RNA sequence: GGAGGCGUGGCAGAGUGGUCGAAUGUACCGCACUUGAAAUGCGGCAAACCCGAAAGGGUUUCGUAGGUUCGAAUCCUACCGCCUCCGCCA
């Protein structure tokens, strides 16, 4: 949800932001027209209530009684207008930050850098590597749960927990964070991440608060009987933790590291990536989530990206970083970077980049909806926080990247050095 | 799932139909005292919305949603959450 004050005072600016996101700028006018109506009606209602209250205090019961009906009528009108006002307001996406490239779709994302040495040998696709080793069973996944479900087995299952260990140890290490911050010339504080295993089922209003329902409901599993959504990323369960809270300024920035299963219906992607575990309905993911003061969020965003890159470098997987253009941003994001890992076995052994990480700065968009604020020590004022999220690792895709980049001629897969001590073995097969 | 109890400001905790946005304590902020601090004293301290250039004024909010009433933190109903006991259970 965006700032109403900004909408009223500078609608043209918001319209430009909305247009850059390929949404209809008319949404802004729709809101302003309802808002004007609402204001007028609220004023009338307030006046009437004040009158009634005064009459009651003066014990002019009969006259006060007379105001009752009219108040009720106005109340109903205000309620209707409020619903309408809210609905139109929530349709307006978060405008991109000034630094974000204006572009119409993913073709206009900008590659910031390519890191790591891409292997040049004719590489095999991860599925054909994994098949003789019996590490992934999609067939039985299909039998038991349907398409896009699979079993991850044996050493590959153990590798998942090795990745979890690596990330947990890295992000709780303040010294290491300090080093990273220094290396990138950032000015954020080195607070460690707090590991979280969040609920994977969340209430309707919390999912709405995260801004993924207006345009994306089709992607999310919903359990009607209990009114609960299955999260598509742990971000959706972590953001609402502080809904309706006023946080203490010196507890900021708060950094969380969520580990959870993510559920996605993949409703709009029939026929795309149908094989294997690249695009499945269920996968485990380690997700970073930061809550910061507004003036810190752009730096924090760089930190999240720096951590993502650090982790990729630890695993020595080649990747590139994309600066996402305005037209390719989701509703809540004001800025976003993606990391794409190099998968040498894809594209008939010619290799290609595939998205494995994404980090967004949602500024105050989610914080407004969830009503998460902080009290400033100096001014005493209460203000909305900024919220950011970033992938530490989506396990399924990380496993794919490892298998394809660490495959050996003899059909075995070497375990990346950084994971060996956690995995307890150095080689699969 | 069954029985009972409870939900008030950052926290603790009064308040059972108007004089209550809410006593008191504590936390926090400012000032005084002090070399500095502690302690003490004095003052301030909820949020949202509306009107207003401002000063200021108005409205709403005591888990949530309804209801009774001229008027609800206070009475009624439903829901949600927490606690205790019983049942079931990893």
CA of A401 to C1' of B48 (A): 49
Protein residue at shortest CA distance from C1' of B28: A377
Tokens of A163: 């990745």
Question: Residue A207: pLDDT band by 50, 70, 90 thresholds?
Answer: confident
In the predicted model, what is the mean pLDDT of residues A247-269? 87
pTM summary value? 0.91
CA atoms within 13 A on the CB side of A370: 35
pLDDT for residue A123: 86
Q: Which nucleotide is nearest to A51 (CA to C1')?
A: B58
Interface residues 10-39 of A with strand B (CB < 7 Å): 39
Using the 8-state DSSP alphabet, how is residue A290 labeled? E
In the predicted model, what is the mean pLDDT of residues A250-267? 90
Where on strand B do bases come within 7 A of a protein Cβ? 10, 18, 28-29, 45-51, 57-60, 66, 70-71
Cβ of A197 near strand B (distance < 7 A): no
Choice among A46-60, A276-290, A316-330, A374-388 with the minimum mean pLDDT: A374-388
Q: Which nucleotide is nearest to A40 (CA to C1')?
A: B50
Tokens of A160: 């998942």
pLDDT for residue A379: 64
Cβ of A64 near strand B (distance < 7 A): yes
Cβ of A248 near strand B (distance < 7 A): no
The complex's ipTM?
0.81
Helix (H) or strand (E) run with residue A335 in it:
strand A335-343
Cβ-Cβ contacts under 8 Å for A115 (sequence gap 6 or more): A309, A312, A313, A318, A319, A320, A321
Model pLDDT for residues A150-190, shown as the tens digit of each residue: 999 999 999 999 999 999 999 999 999 999 999 999 999 99
pLDDT for residue A213: 72
Cβ of A101 near strand B (distance < 7 A): no
Cβ of A66 near strand B (distance < 7 A): no
Cβ of A68 near strand B (distance < 7 A): yes
pLDDT > 70 in chain A, percent: 98
In the predicted model, what is the mean pLDDT of residues A47-74? 84
| Average pLDDT score, chain A | 90
Cβ of A350 near strand B (distance < 7 A): no
In the beta sheet, which residues pair with residue A52? none
d(CA A110, CA A103): 10
If you average pLDDT over each of A66-70, A247-251, A356-360, A371-375, which comes out highest?
A356-360
Q: Is the pLDDT of residue A220 over 90?
A: no
Choice among A47-51, A137-141, A157-161, A296-300 with the minimum mean pLDDT: A47-51
Question: How are beta strands A246-248 and A373-375 bridged, if at all?
Answer: parallel
pLDDT for residue A244: 81
């Amino acid at each position: 949800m965006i700032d109403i004050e900004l909408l009223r005072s500078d609608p043209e600016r918001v319209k430009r932001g909305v247009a850059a996101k390929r949404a209809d700028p008319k949404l802004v006018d729709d809101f302003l027209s309802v808002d004007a109506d609402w204001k007028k009606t609220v004023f009338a209602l307030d006046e009437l209530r004040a009158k009634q209250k005064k009459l009651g205090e003066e014990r002019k019961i009969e006259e006060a009684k007379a105001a009752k009906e009219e108040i009720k009528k106005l109340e109903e009108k205000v309620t209707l207008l409020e619903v309408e006002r809210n609905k139109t307001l929530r349709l307006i996406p978060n405008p991109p930050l000034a630094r974000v490239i204006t572009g119409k779709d993913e073709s206009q994302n900008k590659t910031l850098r390519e890191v790591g040495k891409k292997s040049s040998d004719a590489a095999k696709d991860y599925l054909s590597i994994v098949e003789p080793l019996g590490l992934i069973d999609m067939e039985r996944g299909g039998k038991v749960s349907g398409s896009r479900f699979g079993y991850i087995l044996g050493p590959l299952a153990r590798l998942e927990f090795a990745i979890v260990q690596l990330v947990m140890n890295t992000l709780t290490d303040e010294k290491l964070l300090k080093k990273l911050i220094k290396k990138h010339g950032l000015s954020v504080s080195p607070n460690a991440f707090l590991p979280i295993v969040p609920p994977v089922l969340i209430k309707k209003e919390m999912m709405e608060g995260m801004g993924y329902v207006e345009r994306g409901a089709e992607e999310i599993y919903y359990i009607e009987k209990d009114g609960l959504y299955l999260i598509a990323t742990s971000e959706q369960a972590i953001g609402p933790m502080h809904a309706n809270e006023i946080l203490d300024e010196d507890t900021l920035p708060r950094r969380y590291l969520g580990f959870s299963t993510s559920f996605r219906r993949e409703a709009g992607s029939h026929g795309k990536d149908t094989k294997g575990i690249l695009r499945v309905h269920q996968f485990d993911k380690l997700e970073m989530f930061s809550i910061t003061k507004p003036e810190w969020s752009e730096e924090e965003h760089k930190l999240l990206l720096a951590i993502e890159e650090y982790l990729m470098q630890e695993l020595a997987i080649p990747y590139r970083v994309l600066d996402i253009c305005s037209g390719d941003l989701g509703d809540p994001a004001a800025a976003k970077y993606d990391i794409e890992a190099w998968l040498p076995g894809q594209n008939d052994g010619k290799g290609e980049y595939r998205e494995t990480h994404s980090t967004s700065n949602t500024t105050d968009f989610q914080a407004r909806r969830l009503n998460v604020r902080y009290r400033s020590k100096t001014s005493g004022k209460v203000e909305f926080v900024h919220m950011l999220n970033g992938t530490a690792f989506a396990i399924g895709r990380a496993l794919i990247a490892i298998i394809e980049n660490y495959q050996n001629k003899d059909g075995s897969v070497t375990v990346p050095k950084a994971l060996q001590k956690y995995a307890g073995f150095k080689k699969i097969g």
